[in-house]
Copies of this chain bind each other. A is one copy, B any other.
Amino acid sequence: MVVIRGVVVSKQLVYDPTGTRYIKIDIIEEKELPGPVAAFSAQDEQAAQLMREVMPLVTQIVRSLPFGGGKISVPRVTLWLTDEEVEIFGDVDVGETITISVEGGVISIKPES
């Protein structure tokens, strides 16, 4: 079983050609971007020592660049619910946390209580 911590980032009103109204709900997952990975051979003890000293500075510089670090959002689930279904499921708002569980043969989506 895999549990994903999703966040509602968008709610939108859409209509199909028959005029039925749907609430489109976008749920994303926030992911940490991995920092730069230090790949160097540690054969030379002095070089290894130097790298260890320089790495924090490099990480700091990369994080200050746009898209150089920090968080990204990955779309995980989008739902189109009719007014009736929203009433049964319960209204969720932008910013709310949604738990998505993947089990054998079933995916369950529920608001975090």
With CB as the reference atom, state the residue of chain B lying closest to A72.
B17
The binding surface of chain A is classed by DSSP as strand
Q: Given the complex, which residues of B lie within 8 Å of A75, measured CB to CB?
A: 78, 80
With CB as the reference atom, state the residue of chain B lying closest to A19.
B34
B78 lies within 8 A of A78 (CB): yes
Contact with B along A71-113 (1 / 0, CB 8 A): 0101111111110110011100000000000111111111100
B33 lies within 8 A of A88 (CB): no
Shortest C-beta distance, A94 to chain B (Å), equals: 18
A75 to B12, CA, bound (A): 14
A59 to B54, CA, bound (A): 77
Quick check: is A43 within 8 A (CB to CB) of the other chain?
no
| 5 nearest A-B pairs in the assembled complex, by CB-CB distance | A78-B78, A107-B109, A85-B102, A106-B110, A16-B74
Other than the known A2-B82, A89-B103, what 6 A-B pairs have Cβ atoms closer than 8 Å?
A17-B72, A18-B34, A20-B31, A76-B80, A88-B104, A89-B107
